[in-house]
Chain A
Amino acid sequence: MTAPAILPERGLADRLTALFWRKPNLLLILLIAPPLIWLGVIYLGSLAALLLQSFYSIDEFSGVVKEEFTLKTYAELLRPSNFDIILRTLVMSLAVTLACAVIAFPIAYYAARFARGRWKAVFYLGILLPLWSSYLVKVYAWKMILSKEGIISWAADATHTGFILNGVLALPVIGGNSLSTSYLGTFMVFVYVWLPYMILPMQAALERVPTTMLEASADLGATRAQTFRTVILPLALPGIIAGSIFTFSLTMGDYIIPRIIGTSARSIGMAVSEFQGTAGNLPLAAAFAVVPIVIMLIYLALAKRAGAFDAL
């Protein structure tokens, strides 16, 4: 036979293929350039604009932004009234994340390990549909649920357990006039709204736990609790951390839930929204916005070390 071992090139597409084969980095650059330009220029550029703004200050008399470098605005964050906002938001984010992890685990574990066939479908859709349905509608649904004449009060009356509800509402700090005007109400809505974000990465991590490992653990004499603590939990941890990135960050930045449900005490998100809006203090709003950035960067660095991004 005299036919060549290498097929002849049939046009531009083939020539490009040969070029990509000889220079794989060229293909890489072509692939990554458009998304990198988008994220690098638009996103990082905007973040830089935000950062720049936070180092400006506002003239107290004229209310005009002074475009000179100063740390005055950051110093204002440490004022008790502003620092309280930051602490309050952090405590709330932490509480919401922990509650989400606890409630999500059985759902994710059951869906990953035991749900089969029809139940697998039920769980899959059962987690994704609440994730899909409108955020505002969910908040709105909870406004109905938590309101004084709403379904919780009705259920408490119907079962003669109103004293429990009143007892909870009488608690200092987390209680209040009604559930819809208390921290407890805000907390419940946060947990509800962000729960699917915790379940999904958790379930993904749990699905990758090989059954053979659980069998090996049982063969070696571990009880269910020991298997859970020493095998399942460490392997699920990247998923839990990945989920917590969402719950923590979403709670920290939200300004709609605390505005609609809860006490009128401000969160970081509400502070940003108000200072840039009605108050017109862009530098302080920007400085407030930098706080969650710093916190999330620390959080992400820790999460990365725990290998959480593979589970995202």
Chain B
Amino acid sequence: MHSERASLGLRIAAIGGLLFLHLPILLIFVYAFTTEQRGYTFPPPGLTTQWFAVAWNREDIWPPFWLSLKVASIATVIAIILGTLVAAAMARTRFFGREQISLLIILPIALPGIITGMSLRSAFAIMDVPFSLWTIILGHATFCIVIVYNNAVARFRRLSGGILEASADLGANSFQTFRYVLLPNLGSALLAGGMLAFALSFDEVIVTTFTAGSGVDAKTLPIWMLDELIRPRQLPVTNVVAIVVFAATFVPILLAYYLTRGGSETAGGGK
């Protein structure tokens, strides 16, 4: 019988690895309270909460925040629709060119972001497309499709074909089957995929630097942060923004986890 308890070495390596992933993020919280504006002396020379108020009143933070939110939301919606469509087509049927399509879907994320960005930029230049909100979204949606696709196709594969046939036998048409059978079964997978896509888009900086114009109104939150990293002004303010982003992503992922937990537990436990 295979031992059901992990060896001590494995446990230390696993928990150590997890700590390695989290301790640096913790430091962002610590430095948000430091009194030092231009350095990272550890331990911080003094503690203050003034940076939260300073960040709130900084007018250059809000427009990038709203822009990022808008871009990520629209890109996610596009990615959910296109990703689900392609997953539905790929999951059940074998057809000519299927392999090539699966490669095409993976390509935008398998190739470095700089290539996606550089390609889009040269295409925009050739076709004289002016930079706008939509050029940013175009780039983001392209690499978000694969994220939704991965989640959706896995769920499609696990779904028994019998329930679709049963639905048809009971007199439902394709649209009713989609609405009452397919969608409830796909829901949590799409939610999970959509959230990952949103996160990817919200954090994206490499593609965005190529597909956003140079104007102030084309600055997403990551580009704002990059500017702060290269030309620092008030370091703790950047930390405050980082905490806000962290909190804004923490809540949805926690919610999604509790929403999908039941499904994944039963699916895994049944094996």
A63 within 8 A of B: no
| Contact partner, B114, options A36, A106, A218, A289, Cβ 8 Å | A289
How far is B82's CA from A35's CA once the two chains are assembled, in angstroms? 5
Given A134-B203, A255-B206, A256-B226; A154-B43 close (CB under 8 Å): yes
Q: Which residues from chain B contact A25 at a C-beta distance below 8 Å?
A: 95
Give residues 127-178 of A contacting B (CB, 8 Å).
127-145, 147, 149-151, 153-154
CB distance from A280 to the nearest CB of B (A): 12
Residues of B within 8 A of A145 (CB): 24, 27
Q: Which of B80-114 contact A (CB under 8 A)?
A: 81-83, 85-86, 88-90, 93, 95, 101-114
**Taking the nearest CB of chain A, how far is it from the CB of B191, in angstroms?**
14
Which of A39, A124, A127 meets B108, CB within 8 Å? Answer: A39
Query: Which of B7-15, B49-57, B58-66, B181-189 lies at the interface with chain A?
Result: B7-15
A13 within 8 A of B: yes
Q: Is the CB of B229 within 8 A of A253?
A: no
Q: How far is the CB of B145 from chain A (nearest CB, A)?
A: 6
- List residues of chain A with CB within 8 A of the CB of B6: 110, 113-114
A144 touches B40 (CB 8 A): yes
Chain A residues touching B, majority SS? helix
* A87 adjacent to chain B (CB < 8 Å): no
Which of A's residues lie within 8 Å of B, judged by CB?
7, 13-14, 16-17, 20, 24-25, 27-28, 31-32, 34-36, 38-40, 42-47, 49-50, 52-53, 103-104, 106-107, 109-111, 113-114, 121-145, 147, 149-151, 153-154, 192, 195-196, 207, 210-211, 214-215, 217-218, 224, 227, 245-246, 249-250, 252-256, 260, 268-269, 272-273, 276, 282, 285-286, 289, 292-293, 296, 300, 304, 309, 312
Q: What are 9 A-B residue pairs whose CB atoms fall within 8 Å in the complex? A: A17-B174, A35-B85, A35-B86, A39-B104, A50-B118, A129-B250, A133-B249, A134-B242, A149-B42
- New A-B pairs, 15, CB < 8 Å, besides A129-B22, A210-B271: A16-B175, A28-B95, A34-B82, A43-B116, A103-B20, A104-B17, A106-B10, A114-B11, A125-B253, A128-B253, A129-B253, A134-B202, A192-B24, A254-B113, A285-B118
Q: Which residues of B contact A (CB under 8 A)?
A: 1-2, 4-7, 10-11, 13-14, 17-18, 20-22, 24-25, 27-28, 31, 39-43, 81-83, 85-86, 88-90, 93, 95, 101-116, 118-123, 126, 138, 141-142, 145, 150, 168, 171, 173-176, 199, 202-206, 209, 221-222, 225-226, 229-230, 238, 242, 245-246, 249-250, 253-254, 257, 261, 268, 271
